[in-house]
Amino acid sequence: MSTLRRLRPWVQALAFASFCVLLIGAGKLAFLPADLFFRLDPLAALANMLAARQIVPALGVGAAITLAATLILGRVWCGWLCPLGAVLDWVPARRSKRFEPDPAPRLRQVKYFLLALIGVAALLGNLTFLILDPITLIYRTGTTAAWPGLVALISGAEALLYRAPLLQAPIDWFEGAVRGVLLPLVQPAYGLGILLALIFIGILALNAIRDRFWCRYLCPLGALLGVVSKVAWLRRKVGDVCVDCQRCARACPTGTIDPQQGFASDPAECTMCLECVPVCAQSGQSFTGHLRPAAWRPYDPSRRQFLAAASAAVVAAGLFAAEPAAIHDDPRLIRPPGAQGKTFLAQCIRCGLCVKACPTSGLRPSFDQAGWAGIWTPVLTPRLGYCDYTCTACGAICPTGAIPPLALVDKRLTVIGHAAIDRDRCLPWADNITCLVCEEMCPLPTKAIVLEDVTVSQPGGGEPLAVRRPTVLQDRCIGCGICENRCPLTGEAAIRVYAPTNLSTGG
Amino acid sequence: MPDPNDRREFIRGLLLLSAAGLAACASKPTPQPAAPTATAAQPAARPTGEARTPSAIPPAATPTLVVSRGGDPAELTRRAIAALGGIERFVKPGANVIVKPNICNAYHGPEYASTTNPNVVAAIVALCLGAGAQRVRVMDFPFAGSPQASYETSGIAAAVVAAGGQMEMMNRLKFRKTAIPQGKKLRSSNIYGDILDADVVINIPIAKNHGSAGLTLGMKNLMGVIQDRNTLHAWGLHQCIADLNTAIRPQLTVVDAYRMLMANGPTGGNLDDVKQANTVIASADGVAADAYAATLFGIQPAEIGYIKLGAELGLGTMDLSAIKIEEIAV
């Protein structure tokens, strides 16, 4: 047991390193299973399948593996594999010389409430609360905050070191080998990155109140695995040799070893970290097999709590249905290619894989553009990044099929929006200056932007001017947005992509 | 009492981190470039042609421009350059050569005629290496898609590597703010440093239709070696192209008109827009090469703004009747 315990930090480090490698490689290194952690996340899988009323085998298999492992070994996921759990173990936590009982054991039921909320909302077709899933949470923070920050630091360090002539050759080599392969060509930048970083830091800071605060009280995935662990086979058992030294209770990161109950622990709260094993003065505890369910605790889920969570989900469903976004789509809400309106919201687990995979960083997590119900779902913002004509990365990486995996030929025909020219801003229209960047950039084999030669009289008199003016043919445009992205105007572009209308899609 | 060494380490780490952070902020590209102004502090571009044209003056019988027709693209290229006096006229042993084809995006393969024919590029790389060039690099800065994908889709990467050349991913750190003293509108630009420093620059455009420029040929192809390209449109694209060509003067221009893109350029994607012309044009005079290529589209050279303005700036001649042209059938 002691050997196993010494192994745990290494397993956690390996899991976290894998998580980082998969995140950095997402959309870049196609041979890596970028969605591995999401496939192993039973909460995301079950919620997705409930909400979308579909079976996703890829998700189901991974979820079954995690659930089966939990049935046998308890919450090993939380103690050994969860990347957020690993980070929480590394944050210096509040340590006390004396044993301090859990100040508010009833708070532990918050996580069950959140689990029920996610479950009932999913049953009603809503996945908004999956933003609280720990894997989506840490992945989203990695994609929108940590990775862009790291890229900026690397690029900045390169620019700084490039001033030293001796370093230029190695930096050139590094740029050639890594830029466009692992490092993005354009600096990714997400407006919500700092907010998400602050939320993440807040979760880490809660460790100052109690070790693994998130895991004890809040984590809905932990709650799901905790419920399963109530009947898990392997559990901690305290023997007769206990001398009441309290060391195990002090060492337990989730505070589930209770001196009031003979130092027994709740399998639903135990993450199988084995920290209690080496500190025991008497080798008084063992991990043995059990077949009967563990005792129910006051903080465990109750019928009343479930009803409260269900009511909350219904209230939320009502509020979400009464949002402007539910009644009228935001005209600038441009979804990834093939994503279908309302069904998309019932399939998207808010994981952020597509955001990471998008090579132009045009796909971004929404704030309130898709309503609060659609928070942190991907939206294309063409001014910041367009939908590349040769790219199918978002559909290829989406673990749930919310963004369908389109073949390139189909994706090139998939309409995600329509461009429209603002003639009061457009240089040829407003100022008689020839500028046809949008037409040049249009990637369609038969361009959706056509040029018209006109002769205009100048307002102040003088020679009539010959001007070429662009016009968008709506029936050709697929809304990729490279025109909006490259419009040379300062600030808002003079050509902008709007979401497809019912009229334009025939539906 | 904390260990003072720990503190020192911590402060050192913090300083390094903030320095890197500051550098990151400083290196952020300005989203909206201001109007171009030449300042005294910027190094002026050394026109590559003028400064480094090899002293060997071609024999009087050598034509100014060669057009080869028929045959396969590599052979067309080799014969045209041979008739121009051979690659040795341009590339001396030990030379550092940069070849600039048109690899504008990663959309379509070479049969769509939106990127330069890979066999034309490879033939030139092989000729340069045969003449004793120390290093031959091929590069472009695609306007859409990654350079890696564009190099691969165009077929140029495979052909160049097979010929012994190197594909270079253009490195954002190598762009240098460079004054363009002869420019009328474009007075300075961020130009790729290695292009400015190369011994020989060989420009290999493909002959293509282009909405705003009318045609994209050799002079327009050099827009691939600067940053902030889109703003040039607003300042007057044709004058800016001509201005840029005062700063970068390729020793040799080879226009690939093996396939020509007749409409929906510069991106293409429709085989109906591709004309099989089986033609390659070579000249040391980039204006003349573009002027001749324009006639293949049935367009008078003076109708293309940058050709006319380039001739006015003295970059070459667009009067095809005034130069010696050799046409060869392959």
Which of chain B's residues have a Cβ under 8 Å away from the Cβ of A160? 19-20, 23, 27
Report the residue of chain A nearest B194, measured CA to CA. A172
Share of chain A above pLDDT 90, in %: 73
pLDDT of residue B51: 45
pLDDT of residue A152: 97
User: Does residue B24 fall inside a structural domain?
Assistant: no
CATH of the domain at B57: 3.40.50.11440
Cβ neighbours for A64, distance < 8 A, ≥ 6 positions apart: A42
CATH of the domain at A465: 3.30.70.20
User: Does residue A328 fall inside a structural domain?
Assistant: no
Q: What secondary structure letter does DSSP report for B248? A: -
pLDDT of residue B4: 53
Per-residue confidence band for A459, with pLDDT thresholds at 50, 70 and 90: confident
- pLDDT exceeds cutoff 50 at A448: yes
User: Does residue B40 fall inside a structural domain?
Assistant: no
Question: How many Cα atoms sit within 13 Å of A349 on the Cβ side?
Answer: 30
The model's pLDDT over A130-153, given as tens digits with 9 standing for 90+, comes to 999 999 999 999 999 999 999 999
User: Does residue A498 fall inside a structural domain?
Assistant: yes
Give ∠ CA B190-B146-A421 in degrees, rounded to 5: 75
Q: Do A443 and B267 touch (CB under 8 A)?
A: yes
User: Does residue A468 fall inside a structural domain?
Assistant: yes
pLDDT of residue B6: 66
Per-residue confidence band for B59, with pLDDT thresholds at 50, 70 and 90: low
Instruction: Tally the domains of chain A.
Output: 1
Per-residue confidence band for A61, with pLDDT thresholds at 50, 70 and 90: very high
User: Does residue B26 fall inside a structural domain?
Assistant: no
| Helical (H) or strand (E) element with B27 | none
Per-residue confidence band for B54, with pLDDT thresholds at 50, 70 and 90: very low
The model's pLDDT over B122-145, given as tens digits with 9 standing for 90+, comes to 999 999 999 999 999 999 999 988
Pair of tokens at residue B245: 């060509």
Mean pLDDT of A166-175: 94
Of A89-93, A393-397, B109-113, give the lowest mean pLDDT range. Answer: A89-93
Q: Which of B230, B264, B266 sits opposite A445 (nearest CB)?
A: B264
CA atoms of A289 and A122, how far apart (whole Å): 34
User: Does residue B73 fall inside a structural domain?
Assistant: yes
Of A19-33, A352-366, B111-125, B209-223, give the lowest mean pLDDT range. Answer: B209-223
Pair of tokens at residue A474: 């709506």
Smallest CA-to-CA distance from A356 within A382, A391, A396, A394 is with A394
pLDDT of residue A2: 75
Q: Do A437 and B270 touch (CB under 8 A)?
A: no
Residue B27 identity: S
Q: Of residues B191 and B34, which shows the higher confidence score?
A: B191
Q: Are B16 and A153 in contact (CB under 8 A)?
A: no
Per-residue confidence band for B55, with pLDDT thresholds at 50, 70 and 90: very low
User: Does residue A137 fall inside a structural domain?
Assistant: no
Mean pLDDT of chain A: 92
Share of chain B above pLDDT 90, in %: 74
Q: Which of A175, A187, A488 sits opposite B171 (nearest CB)?
A: A175
Q: What secondary structure letter does DSSP report for B226? A: B
Mean pLDDT of A100-126: 92
Question: How many Cα atoms sit within 13 Å of B260 on the Cβ side?
Answer: 22
pLDDT of residue B35: 44
User: Does residue A303 fall inside a structural domain?
Assistant: no
The model's pLDDT over B240-286, given as tens digits with 9 standing for 90+, comes to 999 999 999 999 999 999 999 999 989 999 999 999 999 999 999 99
Contacts across the A-B interface (CB distance below 8 Å): 129
Instruction: Tally the domains of chain B.
Output: 1
- pLDDT exceeds cutoff 70 at B81: yes
User: Does residue A420 fall inside a structural domain?
Assistant: yes
User: Does residue A307 fall inside a structural domain?
Assistant: no
The model's pLDDT over A484-501, given as tens digits with 9 standing for 90+, comes to 999 999 999 999 999 987
User: Does residue B15 fall inside a structural domain?
Assistant: no
CB atoms within 10 A of CB A181: 13
Domain region containing A473: 415-507
Q: Do B266 and A440 touch (CB under 8 A)?
A: yes
Q: Do B146 and A446 touch (CB under 8 A)?
A: no
Report the residue of chain B nearest A158, measured CA to CA. B173
User: Does residue A479 fall inside a structural domain?
Assistant: yes
pLDDT of residue A353: 96
pLDDT of residue A280: 87
Per-residue confidence band for A34, with pLDDT thresholds at 50, 70 and 90: very high
Domain region containing B213: 49-329
Place of tokens 């800071």: A205
Which of chain A's residues have a Cβ under 8 Å away from the Cβ of B149? 390
The model's pLDDT over B177-232, given as tens digits with 9 standing for 90+, comes to 999 999 999 999 999 999 999 999 999 999 999 877 789 999 999 999 998 887 78
Residue-by-residue DSSP string for A230-293: TT-SEEEEE-TT-----HHHHH-TT---BGGGTTB--TTT-----THHHH-TT--EEEEE--SP
Mean pLDDT of A354-362: 96
